[in-house]
């Protein structure tokens, strides 16, 4: 039986976080929000919507927020951790698609990949994701269509085994490379494309994709030496 704790890293997302928490809670056993030093009402609204809130006093980056959250979530009895964003990048109503894949597949690592359309996406985000996904696919030896997707369901045991070190958005790439290298099976599910007029991202596509690609090479070829 799958038991799921959702983990949401949030920074200045008072507009959307309550809606995301409420939608996520319908499909999971618990919802944790790491408020990464927000200066607005993110923490209060997340707590009001029913989330367990962990707060950073200052903004420390998405990777650090996720690692902070995992340190708490992985102490619990949950079989899987669901990761998704607080800014409506991901529709909580799509969670059952990931759960269904985990129940009927291997269930190690299910990645929710968005449908891509150049006409519907800002150019910088479209091309940065295409380039990043191709590089990552080559590095892990498995097809990855949406390397920048933070919508994923991962078996908790794998997250306990693999140390994560990223501080920013590159944590998503680090997870894929390190978990697949460790033996986790990567499965993919197509989810609906987000509404770019409604959702906003703190990611800077060109800079963050370049940084992610460089770190991907490091994780793939030098991680073992650094962690030895």
DSSP letter for each residue of 193-225: PP-TTT------HHHHHHHHHHHHHHHHHHHHH
Name the DSSP letter for residue 118.
Answer: G
Distance in angstroms (rounded) separating the CA atoms of residues 151 and 159: 15
pLDDT in tens, 52-107: 999 999 999 999 999 999 999 999 999 999 999 999 989 999 999 999 999 999 99
Confidence of residue 138 (pLDDT cuts 50, 70, 90): low
Could you tell me which residue, 212 or 52, shows the higher pLDDT?
A: 52
DSSP-based three-state secondary structure for 153: strand
Q: What is the pTM of this model?
A: 0.81
Chain mean position to CA 64: 12
Task: Find the helix packing angle between 171-182 and 123-140, rounded to 10°.
Answer: 20
State yes or no: pLDDT of 154 exceeds 90: yes
The domain 4-227: what is its CATH number?
A: 3.90.550.10
Tell how strand 109-114 and strand 186-191 pair up.
parallel
**135 vs 5, residue with greater confidence:** 5
Token pair listed for 111: 């990645």
């Amino acid at each position: 039986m799958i038991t799921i704790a959702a983990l949401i890293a949030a920074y200045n997302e008072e507009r959307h976080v309550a809606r995301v928490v409420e939608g996520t809670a319908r499909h999971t056993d618990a919802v944790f929000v790491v408020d990464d030093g927000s200066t607005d009402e993110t923490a209060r609204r997340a707590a009001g919507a029913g989330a367990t809130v962990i707060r950073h006093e200052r903004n420390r980056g998405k990777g650090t927020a996720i690692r902070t959250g995992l340190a708490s979530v992985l102490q619990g009895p949950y079989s899987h951790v669901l990761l998704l964003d607080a800014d409506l990048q991901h529709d909580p109503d799509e969670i059952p698609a990931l759960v269904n894949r985990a129940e009927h597949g291997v269930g190690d690592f299910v990645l929710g990949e968005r449908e891509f359309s150049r006409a519907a996406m800002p150019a910088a985000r479209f091309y940065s994701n295409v380039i990043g996904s191709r590089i990552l696919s080559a590095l892990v030896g498995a097809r990855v269509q949406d390397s920048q997707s933070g919508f994923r369901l991962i078996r908790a045991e794998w997250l306990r085994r693999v140390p994560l070190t990223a501080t920013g958005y590159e944590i998503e790439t680090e997870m894929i490379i390190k978990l697949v290298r460790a033996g986790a099976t990567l499965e993919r599910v197509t989810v609906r494309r987000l509404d770019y007029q409604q959702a906003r991202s703190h990611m800077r596509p060109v800079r963050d994709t370049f940084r992610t690609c460089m770190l991907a090479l490091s994780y793939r070829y030098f991680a073992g030496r650094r962690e030895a």
